[in-house]
Amino acid sequence: MSSTIVVVPQTHWFNGWFLRLLSRPVVRLNGIEHDASWGLPATFPVKPGQQVVAVGARYLGGRRILGVVDHEVDFPPGGRAVLEFRNGLFNHQPFQVRP
């Protein structure tokens, strides 16, 4: 039985206009990158157990993902989790899971 993870990339209210204008969010799930959209949920099936989830921003025309910090999440069989990631006050601050 698989589990489901829903990741919602958000921006900080202070610098969100800048990120939404000049970057795209990237969800990294167990080392594999997935393109996402600001404020919209991205849903992924995962196997039960430990998963590594991170969100970052890739500026248009850039190759690096900025602000990525890995978060380990344990999923039970058939579980579903919604994780909202938001960057800090400044663009260089990493994305963190919001409660």
Q: Please, are residues 95 and 67 in contact by the beta-carbon 8 Å criterion? A: yes
The structural domains of the chain, with segments of one domain joined by +, span 3-98
Q: What single DSSP character describes residue 66?
A: B
Q: Please, are residues 94 and 86 in contact by the beta-carbon 8 Å criterion? A: no
Does the pLDDT at position 43 exceed 80? yes
- CATH fold label, 3-98: Immunoglobulin-like (2.60.40)
Q: What single DSSP character describes residue 17?
A: H
Please provide the distance, in angstroms rounded to a whole number, between the alpha carbons at the two ends of the chain.
Answer: 26
DSSP H or E segment with residue 16: helix 16-22
pTM of the model: 0.91
Does the pLDDT at position 90 exceed 90? no
Q: How far apart are CA 37 and CA 7, in angstroms?
A: 10
Q: Which residues pair with 98 in a beta bridge?
A: 84
Does the pLDDT at position 2 exceed 90? no
Q: What is the mean pLDDT of the chain?
A: 92
